Amino acid sequence: MAYSPGLEGVVVKESEICLIDVENSKIYYRGYDLEELAEKSTFEEAAYLLIYGRLPKASELAEFKRLLASMRRPPDHVISIMRSAPRSAEPIDVLRTAVSAMALGEDLSDRSREAELRRGLAVMAAMPYVAANWDRIRRGLDVVDPPADGQAEYFLKVLRGGEPTPLQIRAMDVMMVVYAEHSMNNSSFTAVSVASTLSDMYAALTAALASLKGPLHGGANVDAARMIEEIGSPERVERWVDSALASGRRIPGFGHRIYKRGPDPRLKVLRRLAEALAKESGDSRPYEVARRLEEYVHSKLSGKGIFANTDLYASVIFKYLGLPTDLNLPAFAMSRVAGWIAHVLEYRARNRLIRPTEKYVGPVGLRYIPLAERR
Ligand code: CMC
């Protein structure tokens, strides 16, 4: 039996959701070029496409947005749990706990596609409420639930109060489109793996959130933001990178299991967006630090197949949007949830329990020594 460390190159399922064409530096959601979707669509449109398999008609999109808006406020017991959490709790942990708690009190015996889809959409709708209101709760403010046109605008309104600019809303929407899906990454695999046991959608999404948190996966967008803050200005990039590499540290926002021959295709879109936000804000330093990092790390590590990944510029964009650094991860999660739901539903349609194997390399036939005789 073949052994592939990190399951590199192992095909887990057949899928019609996302194609990563590394050779041509393209990503397709259900056949549509992600670059075009990022330019022309919204998160709700992309999420509909990923989950239902086709672009919505205008009336369907309006209905979908109405449905999400009607489900944003999670059940009262979830809000009570948020209120009782220690103020020091990590936002991603609060989000994971809230999603898990959404299952409480619901009859979960119906595992039909319709029931699981409804649960998935309830989680997707509630995520911006939970993430942004958690930030308010920990600052001693009460929860709010303002009207908003879509998930991106809603998140920014709750988080910052007041009205975000059109560019800020558009930037958040683009981030959410770009982060919504990326083939069989660790969190999508985790969601599918849990769903394959016929556990419920809440359980699958809770597990996916636990996976996303790790610094080798989604957590890199928090670490990248901290790195950019710590570096502070572009002239300090080289010294910082040299010293990090000399001490054997990995540079967050760089490297990818899939993109070893060239940069992530999403980078172009995000670089442009970060630049536009830098101009609007009047403070170009975070953007320039990221640019310089990209160039310098490229000169040092591209020979090893290490290029910038999306988390580098995502962290800059989120900074310009005013997110506290640790909200970067929930912002990623409330986008990727669309992909998780799509993968769970797709796998369930032809479900087979995921149960890999391992190669035992330990000893056999050891003699059992009674406890009193062990030294
Ligand atoms: N900085 C410095 N060296 C690196 C980096 C990095 N960011 N990434 C990989 N390397 C080196 C690594 O040390 C190893 O070197 P050597 O062969 O000398 O031991 C070599 O490159 C191969 O690394 P690997 O861990 O075998 O590669 P992988 O395909 O398993 O790792 C990765 C992919 C994303 C875990 C890794 O690149 C990494 O840790 N990056 C930093 C964290 C990060 O930005 N993660 C977000 C990735 S975006 C994808 C997602 O969210 O799913």
Q: Whose CA is nearest to atom 1 of ligand 1?
A: 250
**Helical H runs in 213-327?**
220-231, 237-246, 267-281, 285-301, 310-320
Task: Give the Cα separation of 76 and 278 in Å (integer).
Answer: 39
CA dihedral 100, 44, 156, 314 (to 10 degrees): 90
- Are 255 and 179 within one domain? no
CATH, residue 170: 1.10.580.10
AA identity, residue 145: D
CATH, residue 279: 1.10.230.10
Q: How many domains, in total, are found in the chain?
A: 2
The answer to whether residue 86 sits within a structural domain is yes
Ligand 1 centroid, distance to 288 Cα (angstroms): 23
- Are 79 and 132 within one domain? yes
- Answer for the pair 116, 348: CB distance below 8 angstroms, yes or no: yes
- Are 230 and 293 within one domain? yes
The answer to whether residue 326 sits within a structural domain is no
Burial class, 59, CB count within 10 angstroms (exposed 0-12 / middle 13-18 / buried 19+): exposed
Using DSSP's 3-state secondary structure scheme, residue 106 falls into coil
Task: Give the Cα separation of 340 and 331 in Å (integer).
Answer: 15
Using DSSP's 3-state secondary structure scheme, residue 26 falls into strand
Nearest to 217 by CA among 247, 248, 182, 193: 182
pTM of the model: 0.95
- Are 96 and 27 within one domain? yes
- Are 204 and 224 within one domain? no
β-strands 18-21, 26-29 pairing: antiparallel
- Are 173 and 89 within one domain? yes
Q: Whose CA is nearest to atom 49 of ligand 1?
A: 217
- Are 186 and 266 within one domain? no
* Catalytic machinery residues: 256, 311
The answer to whether residue 369 sits within a structural domain is no
Kindly provide the b/e burial profile for residues 98-107, where b requires at least 16 CB atoms within 10 angstroms of the residue's own CB.
bbbbbbeeee
Q: Which of 8, 266, 294, 304 to mutate to test the pocket of ligand 1 (most atoms within 8 A of CB)?
A: 304
The answer to whether residue 328 sits within a structural domain is no
Q: Is the Cβ atom of 120 under 6 angstroms away from ligand 1?
A: no
Could you tell me the residue range of the domain that residue 23 belongs to? Answer: 13-210+336-349
- Are 140 and 201 within one domain? yes
The answer to whether residue 80 sits within a structural domain is yes
Ligand 1 centroid, distance to 239 Cα (angstroms): 20
Per-residue pLDDT of the chain (375 residues; tens, 9 = 90+): 789 999 999 999 999 999 999 999 999 999 999 999 999 999 999 999 999 999 999 999 999 999 999 999 999 999 999 999 999 999 999 999 999 999 999 999 999 999 999 999 999 999 999 999 999 999 999 999 999 999 999 999 999 988 999 999 999 999 999 999 999 999 999 999 999 999 999 999 999 999 999 999 999 999 999 999 999 999 999 999 999 999 999 999 999 999 998 889 999 999 999 999 999 999 999 999 999 999 999 999 999 999 999 999 999 999 999 999 999 999 999 999 999 999 999 999 999 999 999 999 999 999 999 999 999
- Are 145 and 293 within one domain? no
- Answer for the pair 327, 159: CB distance below 8 angstroms, yes or no: yes
Q: Whose CA is nearest to atom 18 of ligand 1?
A: 304
- Are 21 and 145 within one domain? yes
